[in-house]
Chains A and B, each alone.
Chain A
Amino acid sequence: MERKIEESKTNGSVLSSINTNGANNSGGKLLDYLKCAAVGLRIDNINRSFGENHVLRGVQLDIDPGETVVILGKSGSGKSVLMRHIIGLECPDSGHIYVAGQDINNPEFKKNHVIAMVFQSSALFNSLTVSENVALYLREHKIFKDEAKITEIVSSALEIVGLEGKEDVMPSMISGGMKRRVAAARALVMNPDLILFDEPTAGLDPMMTRTMGDLICDLKNQVQITQIVVTHDIDLAFYVADRIAILSEGRILEVGTSEQIRGSTNSAVLDFIKPQFE
Chain B
Amino acid sequence: MNSVMSFFRVTGGLLGLFMETLYWCKAAFRNSDKVFAQLYIIGNQTLPVGALIALFSGGVLALQAGPTLAQFGLEENVGGLVGLSLVKEIGPIMASILIAGRVGSAMTAELASMSVYEEIDALNTMDINPVRFLVMPRFIATVIALPVLVIYMDVIGWFGGAIVSVVNPEIHLSLDVYYRNLSELVDFVAVLNGLIKAMFFGIIISIVCCYVGLNTKGGPREIGSSVTKAVVMSFVLVLVSDYYITRILLFLNLD
Contact = CB atoms under 8 A, between A and B. Distances in A.
Interface string A128-153: 00000000110011000000000000
A89 B126 contact: no
A140 B126 contact: yes
Interface stretch (A7-15, A44-52, A66-74, A109-117): A109-117
Contacts of B121: 84, 89, 119, 123
Contacts of B117: 121, 123
Most B C-beta atoms less than 10 A away, residue of A114, A119, A141: A119
Interface residues of A, number: 20
B128 A140 contact: yes
Interface residues of chain B: helix, strand, loop or mixed (majority): helix
B7 interface: no
A89 B124 contact: yes
A119 B126 contact: no
A71 B8 CA distance: 40
Contact of A117 (B119, B125, B128): B125
Nearest to B119: A123
B217 to A, nearest CB: 12
Interface in B106-133: 114, 117-119, 121-122, 124-128, 133
A117 B124 CA distance: 11
B137 to A, nearest CB: 12
A87 interface: yes
Contacts of B119: 123-125
Interface residues of chain A: helix, strand, loop or mixed (majority): loop
A102 interface: no
A202 B210 CA distance: 31
Contacts of B125: 87-89, 115-117
Contact of B128 (A88, A115, A120, A136): A136
Contacts of A125: 114, 119
Contacts of B122: 117, 119, 123
Contacts of A99: none
Interface string A224-267: 00000000000000000000000000000000000000000000
Nearest to A142: B30
A137 B119 CA distance: 13
Contacts of A87: 125
Contacts of A140: 126, 128, 133
Chain B contact patch, size range: 10 to 19
A202 to B, nearest CB: 13
Contact of A120 (B118, B124, B127, B133): B118
B127 A141 contact: yes
A14 to B, nearest CB: 22
Interface string B88-114: 000000000000000000000000001
Most A C-beta atoms less than 10 A away, residue of B117, B118, B122: B122
A123 B126 contact: no
A172 B93 CA distance: 37
Interface in A56-94: 84, 87-89
Nearest to B116: A121
A212 interface: no
Contacts of A114: 127
B4 to A, nearest CB: 20
Contacts of A115: 125
Contacts of A89: 121, 124-125
A30 interface: no
B43 to A, nearest CB: 17
A121 B127 CA distance: 19
A61 B122 CA distance: 24
Most A C-beta atoms less than 10 A away, residue of B118, B119, B128: B118
Contact of B127 (A84, A110, A123): A110
A121 B126 contact: no
B35 to A, nearest CB: 15
A190 interface: yes
Nearest to A138: B126
Nearest to B110: A127
Contacts of A84: 121
Contacts of A123: 117-119, 121-122
A15 to B, nearest CB: 22
A53 to B, nearest CB: 15
A117 B121 CA distance: 10
Contacts of B114: 125
7 contacts: A84-B121, A116-B126, A123-B118, A123-B122, A137-B128, A140-B126, A140-B128
Interface of B: 114, 117-119, 121-122, 124-128, 133
Give 8 nearest A-B pairs by CB, closest first: A123-B122, A123-B118, A119-B118, A137-B126, A123-B119, A140-B128, A121-B117, A121-B118
Interface of A: 84, 87-89, 110, 114-117, 119-121, 123-125, 136-137, 140-141, 190
